[in-house]
A and B are shown apart, each in its own frame.
Chain A
Amino acid sequence: MKNRWNLLWILLAAALIAGCAKKAEPAAVAAKAEPYKVAFVYIGPPGDLGWTHEHDQGRKAVEAEFGDKVKTVYIENVPEGPDATRIIRQYAQEGYDMIFATSFGYMDPMVEVAKEFPKVKFEHCSGYKTSENMSTYFGRIYQPRYLSGIVAGKMTKSNIIGYAAAFPIPEVVRGINAFTLGVRSVNPKAQVRVVWTNTWYDPVKEREAAVALLDAGADIIAQHQDTVEPQKAAKERGKLSIGYDSDMRAFVGDTVLTSPVWNWGAYYKDTIGKAMAGTWATHQYWEGLKAGVVRLADMSPLVPQDVKDLVKAAEQKILDGTWDVFYGPIKDQTGAVKVAAGAKMTDGEMLSFDWFVEGVVGKVK
């Protein structure tokens, strides 16, 4: 008997919301000088002090550069999957001119929405699918990762270096390989042990992975995650670490020897500037140390001068263009030569990396 009335009150409640919302509608009419509207979709919160933090620094750099001419917004903690499609579509629907999605799993959702909104410009970080109005962008973070590997290879005493890694996708595999090549270039006895967390952003899992690696005898923890938790876990055990994304030494302390870091501001200012000027065209941006989109953070005072000199020398070779990380000879885990001496890997090969170099302990599943 009483249930019959439920419908009525629910309808009433719905009508109430409708009423409130309608009244205020005229205020939504836009002002005259419309700023260029840019939206960012984040996998974690800017407070992660890592991956998303760095993208948000880039967003702020854009605001500082263009002032009133641009309006930026962002949404954090968007899961990779169907919800991402809705979020990206809503921004496009709401009249945003340009949308950046900063995680690999946003690729297919963005492709889907980009088809529906040909006038909106879409940029996807770290993927490989493009279209007329959708670009990709990433940086050759493997270059500073190699340099950080030199530091780790020189500083390890147990010759076991732990690596907390997100997903076994080419981006992460490439980073592990570059790091390991750096380690082994100065310390052929050292091994790099990999633990997969299967998440980009999960402070608890990231910490657990680091702890497992420390338990396995690692005395330095490197990582490909979004937060500083692996670095904190290492510090609590009195061990060293190599950060990632941001200069994690600033957040954790000098036990973080150095970090390969992003400088997204440089890229964001450039591409948004082009979009505002009408010269934007679809592209696949993948630059490195030379362009300044990636770099190695300043080293901790715990790193001796001779190690710093080694890093400097390697960095110079990359900057000069005389040598790069994936130049042969490179062996895989079984010892078989995958890249012959004198040969070098192509971008295509690097973008589809699915094997580990010699010295990595772990499996690309």
Chain B
Amino acid sequence: MSILIEKRKNISRPAQVLVPAASFLASLVLTGVLLLAFGADPFATYRAMFRGAFGSGRAFTETLVKAIPLILTGLGVALAFKLRFWNIGAEGQLTLAGVAASWVAIFWGRWMPSFLLLPAVILVGCLAGAAWAGIPALLKTRLKVDETLVTLMLNYVAILFSEFLYYGPWRDPKGYGFPGTEPFPEAAWMPRIAGRAHLGLVFGLVLALILWFVINRTRWGFELKIIGASPQAARYQGIAVERNVVLAILLSGALCGLAGVGEVTGISRRLQQGLSLGYGYTAIIVAWMAQLNPLAVPFVAVLMAALLVGGDQVQMMMGLPASMGILMQGMILFPLLAGSLFTEYRIRRTGRHAAADAGGAE
């Protein structure tokens, strides 16, 4: 007897709800066992995590603070992935946009009318993110250079460039030598809505709606879907594949860039270390968990942010080591991703068929 795993043709609706719910429960139980092994009370730990992420208005705004960059980069990555363009450069696009935004905020602020400064900061930041994503898009469409490597490598270029600036020429002359630029003028601050949660949240939610509409309700979105499914088929239909890919990736980069703009103008209000705490990479998990659906991205992003913020509670309040928080995040995510195996694939026992063509299973 062997086991055959095949893709389901129709995915039943209850399964789409029950399987993730069951996976989530399973992950709580698994993590609970781990916590017990460390001598910690699992219920107290989950309670502390929940309190840390949602327990009060202020706690929730801090979760939102982390969710904002995840929503924006999640949308950017989801759009690129829809086209099967593996943009893992969200981190770099975010960083370079943060650098460009800082440039405008610090240097243009000296002559620009103050009401124009923030719009200029946002615009230039997004353009920088788009341009940074445009490089791999052009290389891929013109020269067939693999985008995975290029986007990844450009992350390091952007991060090192930003470090060069705030350790070097842009270092705050009044900062006692500590790396970081001078604080931005107030005119370049992204307005805050509640706590530290800033206007980027509204941008994120509105853009999620717009992106969903564009992909599902417009001709261009339809073309993008066809390109994603099969570039050959798209070409037969007379769709300008290369041009559309470049346009969509520019948009993807701009979305990731907006996340960087939000971080520097809404949170740190200067360019310094810790601009991105891996948001560009977490965005990949967010995009996949949202199954590339723009409307699901904000929810997944909030969930991920809650996991990150709540994870800190594990050591802050429970006295467990820092690695425990990270371990728990993995333990909670893994069954959720693994659960998709059961919704999208069917496992059959079979006596005669070989399982050679089974894919994606362990």
Contacts and interface: CB of A to CB of B under 8 A. Distances in A.
A24 B62 contact: no
Interface stretch (A76-84, A238-246, A277-285): A76-84
Contacts of A21: 46-47, 50-51, 54
Contacts of B62: 86, 89-90
A365 B168 contact: yes
Contacts of B43: 20, 24
A16 interface: yes
Nearest to B307: A17
B303 A169 contact: no
A28 interface: yes
Contacts of A11: 299
A91 interface: yes
A212 interface: no
B177 A364 contact: yes
Contact of A27 (B25, B44, B274): B44
Interface string A57-95: 000000000000000011111011111011101110110
Interface string B294-318: 0110011011001001001101110
A2 B299 contact: no
B291 A93 contact: no
Contact of B54 (A6, A8, A18): A18
B16 interface: yes
Interface string B154-193: 0000000001000110000000111100000000000000
B30 interface: no
A343 interface: no
B319 interface: yes
Contacts of B267: 82
Contacts of B51: 21, 28
B21 A75 contact: no
A319 to B, nearest CB: 30
A365 B11 CA distance: 61
Interface in A8-47: 8-14, 16-18, 20-21, 24-25, 27-28, 39, 45
Contacts of A74: 315, 319
A3 interface: yes
Among A7, A10, A12, A73, the one with the most B-chain Cβ atoms within 10 Å of its Cβ is A10
Contacts of B302: 14
Among A6, A39, A94, the one with the most B-chain Cβ atoms within 10 Å of its Cβ is A6
A208 interface: no
A37 B138 CA distance: 57
A352 to B, nearest CB: 7
B58 A89 contact: yes
A90 B296 contact: no
Question: Main secondary structure on chain A at its contact with chain B?
Answer: helix
Nearest to B168: A365
A138 to B, nearest CB: 13
A13 B21 contact: yes
B52 interface: yes
B277 interface: yes
A104 B179 CA distance: 11
Contacts of A128: 176
A9 B21 contact: yes
A168 B178 CA distance: 7
B24 A6 contact: no
Interface in A305-351: none
A91 B316 contact: yes
B114 interface: no
Contacts of B319: 73-74
B73 interface: no
A75 B167 contact: no
A198 interface: yes
A37 B312 CA distance: 18
B116 interface: no
Interface string B34-58: 0000000001101100111010101
Nearest to A116: B58
Nearest to B25: A16
B20 interface: yes
Contact of B296 (A3, A28, A76): A3
A85 B197 CA distance: 13
B196 interface: yes
B11 A2 contact: yes
A61 to B, nearest CB: 17
A198 B163 CA distance: 10
B164 to A, nearest CB: 11
Nearest to A109: B268
Contacts of B300: 10
Nearest to A169: B177
A105 interface: yes
Contact of B322 (A3, A77, A82): A77
B59 interface: yes
Contacts of A12: 17, 20-21
By Cβ-Cβ distance, the 7 closest A-B pairs, closest first, are A81-B274, A21-B50, A5-B16, A3-B293, A6-B296, A9-B20, A169-B177
Given A5-B16, A85-B196, A93-B58, 6 more contacts: A7-B295, A45-B321, A45-B322, A75-B315, A79-B273, A82-B274
29 contacts: A2-B11, A3-B293, A5-B13, A6-B16, A10-B300, A10-B303, A12-B20, A20-B43, A20-B50, A21-B54, A24-B43, A24-B46, A27-B44, A28-B47, A75-B312, A75-B315, A75-B316, A79-B277, A81-B274, A81-B275, A82-B267, A83-B274, A87-B316, A90-B52, A93-B56, A128-B176, A167-B178, A169-B178, A365-B168
